[in-house]
Structure 1
């Protein structure tokens, strides 16, 4: 039945234009961050161990980057699926407070719910959780793209509670000084 629903909704997708990367809060920032991963190659399939519960082990992939401007106060990561059959991309993870001197996020770090010692704080994903939620697209819907978007911010973001995507983007407005991304695909 789920495969039938996926096939039926195959043409329905949120779209690239709705990614945080293209939001007015970030769209004007230079594309100067170079994001890579030892877990998957740009545009290639994301290994099953990084897929969501019931499909894989839900272990967040390793990410690394270059090109952080010296005036960066913090980095923000937003992981989204623009191919979800929804009006907006499905948010798989939000991480704020990443130190400007950091050059990597270790494999599994976004899946770790332990109290952070590195300043990194998780925001609320579409599942309503404060952790990484790996790829698990609707069966039969076709390949989905998972976009790991990194933003350099020239101020520290502060939140009273666990922030949503909308709250993070609102605070990023006018403060994004660089951006970059890596994307991988997954299909069921």
Structure 2
């Protein structure tokens, strides 16, 4: 009995340490992003007809509904834009009070500069017709992952980046690949945050 208790205690300690390491790592990655963003002009106006800034995402754009991607519109007056990239991220996964990773819900890149809006529920096929490309989300799929937080009320951050180039990859990029490739090419960005709780 004492041996079982020691094994369980050891397992619990290892689990707590692992969660703590993941939490510190996730916060570190977010801090790095924030430092980079602080050096860039936030001059793109990003809005949505699906939800207000800082408001609740509708059921239609969640796992409680059909899981549509939200409608997005952005405006920019910066010259020299060659493409737009879009990232949707949940920085509150899994617990909003103790996040352990930054979950990627949507990775889009190489949207032509003439495209400045996406309809609600845009499909991967429609995205390709618009000229955009999809990267791997947090589930290693090329699509929008609808919000479905297991606990708490999560914040979902949508960012549009204006780039002075188009991007190419040897394989399907994930969120970090895209962030790395965009370094030195971001002209401006815009941000919109929505909330959701099951």
User: TM-score by structure 2 length?
Assistant: 0.79
Give the secondary-structure state (helix, strand or coil) at the position aligned to 2:180: helix
* 2:193 is the alignment partner of 1:186: no
| Larger RCO, structures 1/2 (Cα 8 Å, 6+ apart) | 1
Query: Unaligned stretches of 5+ in structure 1?
Result: 1-8
Q: Measure, in 2, the Cα distance between the counterparts of 1:30 and 1:36.
A: 17
Q: Which has the higher helix share?
A: 2
Q: Structure 1 20/75 Cα, relative in aligned 2: closer, same or farther at 3 Å?
A: farther
Query: Unaligned stretches of 5+ in structure 2?
Result: 1-18
Work out which of the residue numbers 180, 185, 191 in structure 2 matches 1:170. 180
1:106-145 aligned at under 5 Å gives the runs: 106-109=119-122, 112-114=123-125, 116-138=128-150, 141-145=151-155
Aligned CA-pair RMSD: 2.3
Contact preservation (8 Å) 1:29, 1:176: yes
**Larger radius of gyration between Structure 1 and Structure 2:** 2
1:35-50 aligned at under 5 Å gives the runs: 35-50=46-61
Work out which of the residue numbers 146, 151, 156 in structure 1 matches 2:166. 156
* 2:78 is the alignment partner of 1:65: no
Q: Measure, in 1, the Cα distance between the counterparts of 2:50 and 2:165.
A: 30
Q: Structure 1 149/95 Cα, relative in aligned 2: closer, same or farther at 3 Å?
A: same
User: TM-score by structure 1 length?
Assistant: 0.83
Contact preservation (8 Å) 1:68, 1:100: no
- Residue 28 of structure 1 deviates from its aligned partner by 1.6
- Residue 159 of structure 1 deviates from its aligned partner by 1.3
